């Protein structure tokens, strides 16, 4: 379980990152040395990538990263993780809470429980493949569908990885361009 809303928001990025195979919160911790003491530490997350690498993440508000004690402790934690063979990365709210991508990922997550592909979704996929790249409103117009229903069909397909949009630039609540993976 995530201990903070920042950790929770980071999970949306991990869920839709194609290079991450698995991720988890609060993995098994380790000890680090600081000012002559052996102190326990549990990273906020562990990420296993498809290339076989594993990394720990520490999530912090950007403002907290200026504290000299935090910085010194983080260097010690990073070294202890390195000795264990795993990189420890500091990730701040300025990296996690970036929009429109975070809002887009949260929106897509709402469609994660929809299984299967309907007949209309197959038709929409054919149109998108034929068109190459098409805007959501044009798809709705072509099939005479309400915008909300079109969004539901397309975002479910997007969640399954069958269609794409530029989640970094396009706001999914507007009129994003959609295209097929292959």
Q: Is the pLDDT of residue 3 over 90?
A: no
The pLDDT score that the predictor gives to residue 30 is 99
Domains present along the chain, CATH in parentheses: 5-96 (3.40.1350.10), 115-180 (1.10.10.10)
| Residues 131 and 125 sit within 8 Å (Cβ to Cβ) | no
Confidence of residue 55 (pLDDT cuts 50, 70, 90): very high
Q: Is the pLDDT of residue 1 over 70?
A: no
| C-alpha distances in Å from residue 67, one per residue of 45, 90, 95, 103 | 22, 14, 19, 30
Considering only CA atoms, give the Rg of the chain. 21
| Residues 22 and 48 sit within 8 Å (Cβ to Cβ) | yes
Q: What is the DSSP string of 131-147?
A: HSEEEHHHHHHHHT--H
Tens digit of pLDDT for each residue in 63-120? 999 999 999 999 999 999 999 999 999 999 999 999 999 999 999 999 987 789 999 9
| Residues 179 and 134 sit within 8 Å (Cβ to Cβ) | yes
| Cα 59 from Cα 96, distance rounded (Å) | 9
Mean pLDDT in the chain? 96
- Region of residue 33 (left: phi > 0; alpha: psi -120 to 50; beta: else): beta
pTM for the predicted model, two decimal places: 0.89
């Amino acid at each position: 379980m995530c201990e903070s809303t920042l950790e929770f928001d980071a999970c949306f990025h991990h869920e839709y990152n194609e290079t991450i195979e698995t991720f988890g919160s609060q993995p098994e911790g380790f000890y680090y040395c600081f000012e002559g003491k052996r102190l326990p530490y549990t990273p906020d997350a562990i990420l296993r990538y498809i290339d076989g690498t594993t990394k720990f993440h520490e999530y912090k508000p950007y403002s907290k990263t200026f504290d000299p004690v935090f910085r010194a402790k983080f260097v010690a934690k990073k070294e202890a993780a390195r000795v264990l063979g795993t990189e420890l990365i500091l990730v701040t709210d300025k990296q996690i809470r970036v929009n429109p991508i975070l809002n887009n990922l949260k929106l897509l997550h709402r469609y994660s429980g929809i299984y299967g592909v309907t007949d209309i979704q197959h038709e929409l996929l054919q149109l998108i493949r034929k068109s190459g790249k098409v805007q959501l409103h044009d798809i709705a117009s072509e099939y005479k569908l309400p915008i909300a229903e079109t969004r539901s069909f397309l975002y479910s397909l997007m969640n399954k990885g069958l269609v794409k949009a530029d989640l970094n630039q396009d706001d999914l609540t507007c009129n994003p361009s959609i295209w097929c993976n292959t």
